[in-house]
Amino acid sequence: MCVQWGKSKIGLLQGFLDEQFIQLEELQDDANPNFVEEVVTLFYRDSTRLLLNIDQALEKSPLDFSKLDNYMHQFKGSSSSIGATKVNNECTHFREYCNAGNAEGCMSTFQQMKKEHATLRKKLEAYFQVSSICLVTFFSS
């Protein structure tokens, strides 16, 4: 029953997360019942730190593009871990701007990325709440 719940919940996240997220779900088992949530929590903790670094780097002038690129590379690796599609796309844009030395582009892409990042977080929180509700419901019935 919960599984079915799970599958329909994915609809919540459609477009925001990709195949990787499903992989994570599949990894979840009795040994690690909260695996996905743990991973997501880890992700958000780490990615917030990275975003902060990028923020700071973007405030410097002139921009150190190679450093920015580095940070973004890390961030991309991170966001790929949970399959955050939209966030990932913004990362790619950002790196393109970096390579082109386009400060404006970097700035605006970064803002966009932060937005996506925040949006996804909310969705995931909702997702997990629903999951927990699902479990509770199941056991209480």
Site of interaction with another protein (CB under 8 A): 20, 23-24, 26-27, 29, 31-32, 35, 38-39, 42-43, 45-46, 70, 73-74, 76-78, 80-83
Which CB atom, from 83 or from 113, has the smaller least distance to another protein?
Answer: 83
Three-state SS at 38: helix
Q: How far is the CB of 22 from another protein (least distance, A)?
A: 11
**Separation between Cα atoms, residue 26 and residue 29, nearest integer Å:** 8
Q: How far is the CB of 15 from another protein (least distance, A)?
A: 17
Q: CA-CA distances (angstroms) from residue 23 to 29, 35, 54?
A: 12, 11, 29
Write down the residue that tokens 């929180």 correspond to: 125
Q: How far is the CB of 137 from another protein (least distance, A)?
A: 26
